[in-house]
Amino acid sequence: MREMTQKSFENQSEDNWDLIVIGGGPAGLTAGIYGARSGLKTLILEMMLPGGCIANAALVENYPGFPEGIPGSDLAKRLKDQCEYAGAEIHVMEKSLEVNLQGEKKRVITDNRKYCGAAVIIATGTQQRHLGIPSEKKFQGRGISYCAVCDGPFFKNKNVVVVGGGNSAAIDALFLSGLAKNVKLIHRRSTLRAENALVEDMMSNRIKILYNTEIKEFKGENKLRSILINNKDKDEVREIETDGVFIQIGKLPNSAVAKKSGIKLDERGYIGVDSNQRTNIDGVFAVGDVSVSPYKQMGTAIGTAIIAASEAYGYIKRPYYYKK
């Protein structure tokens, strides 16, 4: 079966586009909106479904324009619709495996097809960082989750723990407090990084915060049953029972395919860009969470996408105007 696909793929003629956007999260979809609106024949390649990480957010409260917040899945749908109304084409469930970005014709090879574009915008986002404890993998999907919205409903009236200290961890803890019987937040530092508004919400939702605390081990038979935690202040290890652990300790950039093609990354693996979102390769831009930027917010991601799509337009349509 795989062979047949491969064969038909080899014989296939090139599929030509002005702009190819790799990744269909908020940044990629925004690049699609701006690319298509400026008249570029624009394709978005998304390995999963449109919306990226925002689609799994229970409630997005800080994206400007939605005073009472909006469920992430609704916002994702709106971005996808807007992108398609603008005239961009979105291919979902199609993974980009290899890119060849040197020269005037940029090639993107997916698990389904070969594409050719005059410019490429990389918007592949990030993935969840794992704790890296040996027993972590064993209980993935058996008590350990990296997405409260996806898996929270399995823990109705149960005891859960959230690990992390930033906005994402706080948002997950708040979301889970509406489902679970008891929610604890475990953070390895003495202060949280989450917004004050979220910290106050956690207080009023009686979410207990364990500071200076790390998980040392996950325990259970087939399913997670308890965790060993270490309080660094007291240097005390104790076991607490829990049905679920939601890990929200940061992200890793999805930049492997870009790196292989010669795009320069910073020391943490994020794609290096200048103030116009240009990478080190002509006609190739990077936007959103996968690009170097100090603040990973949806509002900052869309800003970078607008700049890149506008630059891509300049690069494709007016080479003289486009100042390198």
Residues marked as catalytic: 147, 150-151
Instruction: Examine residue 295 and tell whether it contacts a copy of itself (CB under 8 A).
Output: yes
Contacts of residue 250, Cβ cutoff 8 Å, sequence gap at least 6: 128, 129, 164, 166
Within 10 angstroms of residue 275's Cβ, the number of other Cβ atoms is: 7
d(CA 37, CA 32): 8
Instruction: Examine residue 275 and tell whether it contacts a copy of itself (CB under 8 A).
Output: yes
Instruction: Examine residue 57 and tell whether it contacts a copy of itself (CB under 8 A).
Output: no
Taking the complex as a whole, the smallest distance from the CB of residue 63 to a copy of itself amounts, in Å, to 7
d(CA 187, CA 36): 43
Residue from 163, 169, 183, 307 touching a copy of itself (CB under 8 A): that is 307
Pick the stretch among 13-21, 169-177, 223-231, 244-252 that binds a copy of itself (CB under 8 A). Answer: 169-177
Taking the complex as a whole, the smallest distance from the CB of residue 13 to a copy of itself amounts, in Å, to 26
Amino acid (one-letter) located at 296:
K
Contacts of residue 243, Cβ cutoff 8 Å, sequence gap at least 6: 143, 155, 158, 159, 160, 223, 224, 225
Measuring CA to CA, which residue among 298, 293, 266, 296 is closest to residue 280? 266
Contacts of residue 294, Cβ cutoff 8 Å, sequence gap at least 6: none
Instruction: Examine residue 63 and tell whether it contacts a copy of itself (CB under 8 A).
Output: yes
Pick the stretch among 12-20, 122-130, 260-268, 296-304 that binds a copy of itself (CB under 8 A). Answer: 296-304
Q: Which is nearer to a copy of itself, 261 or 279 (CB)?
A: 279
Kindly provide the b/e burial profile for residues 255-266, where b requires at least 16 CB atoms within 10 angstroms of the residue's own CB: bebbeebebebe
Residue from 9, 49, 56, 66 touching a copy of itself (CB under 8 A): that is 66
Residue from 20, 33, 119, 290 touching a copy of itself (CB under 8 A): that is 33
Instruction: Examine residue 129 and tell whether it contacts a copy of itself (CB under 8 A).
Output: no
d(CA 147, CA 132): 17
Tokens at 80, concatenated: 């996808």
Q: Which is nearer to a copy of itself, 29 or 99 (CB)?
A: 29
| Binding flags for a copy of itself, 209-248, as an x/- string (CB under 8 A) | ----------------------------------------
Residue from 9, 48, 56, 78 touching a copy of itself (CB under 8 A): that is 78
Q: Which is nearer to a copy of itself, 108 or 183 (CB)?
A: 183
Instruction: Examine residue 302 and tell whether it contacts a copy of itself (CB under 8 A).
Output: yes
Instruction: Examine residue 34 and tell whether it contacts a copy of itself (CB under 8 A).
Output: yes
Instruction: Examine residue 154 and tell whether it contacts a copy of itself (CB under 8 A).
Output: no
Q: What angle do CA 150, 156, 160 make, to 5 degrees?
A: 80
d(CA 201, CA 158): 20
Taking the complex as a whole, the smallest distance from the CB of residue 318 to a copy of itself amounts, in Å, to 6
CA distances to 29, 267, 282 from 273, in Å: 19, 13, 12
Asked if residue 281 lies in contact with residue 106, where contact means CB atoms within 8 angstroms, the answer is no
Interface residue list for a copy of itself (CB under 8 A): 26, 29-30, 33-34, 36-39, 61-68, 70, 75, 78-79, 81-82, 85-87, 149, 153, 167, 171, 174-175, 178-179, 189, 191, 193, 195-201, 275-276, 294-295, 297, 299-307, 310, 317-321
